[in-house]
Structure 1
């Protein structure tokens, strides 16, 4: 009888001891810093090349930056005159690729040629001074409107190629 009680007690003790679950710590992937009402200037040779305004800026551990409330940029020529502007409802900078992405209502204006590009997504490579998209685009020129899908252009919109153009426009010979 004592043996039976001993084995029952041993079994009860073994059942009551269970492993505690060790949970892995959750890794934080959110922003490491946040700034509001940001105004940044990019310069070359002591001349302002780009002025950037944003209501909110998040910076991440990877060096990526997010602008969840949109971005506005001004691009300046060598002589200091305003050449073009870019506006987007949401923007993201990918540090590893040195590339920007604008989403939402994206608008690029070339003030010298009085042209305007509108699209829902646009990528910008600052090192190459190029913009591009795979999305639908609208370009308003003086008197003409060109539509299409896909675009490759200089960042100031001074030269561009629409991959699949549509619409009517006047060709000057």
Structure 2
């Protein structure tokens, strides 16, 4: 058997005249109309704007994150009866420092007693500011013995009220 059989001349001529199949060019990934490009540009701008606004909000709320860290440090003192007075003083300091980080010093630094309560109540969400009134009306002026006798739930209520105020107080722009 021959490895390559001899073809007749007409078949050889026909085979030599054949060409490869013409393959169409690949389909472009670019949109063919300007509307899709405009939509992509609008979506890109919206994505960049939302990222910018989220970063700005994150930076503006840095004082809140710091205040919550300080509040967590004070919480252990409030929950321990022997150090409750120091913890309540620390809580008042955290709230004042938080307010000073946002509002002008002239407006906040001189506030005390009922005026400070009104400020906290006015800057909190509706119904949230009353939880801290007991701290500034009564607890700051008690001795350590009477504060140690308080139930732990009172300290937890104060911490919860302070946490809510720090997280949700309204800052006028």
The structure that is strand-richer by fraction is 1
Same-fold call, TM cutoff 0.5: no
The structure that is helix-richer by fraction is 2
TM-score range, shorter chain: under 0.3
Answer 1 or 2: higher relative contact order, Cα 8 Å, separation at least 6: 2
Give the TM-score normalised by structure 1.
0.27
Structure (1 or 2) with the larger CA radius of gyration: 2
Give the TM-score normalised by structure 2.
0.27
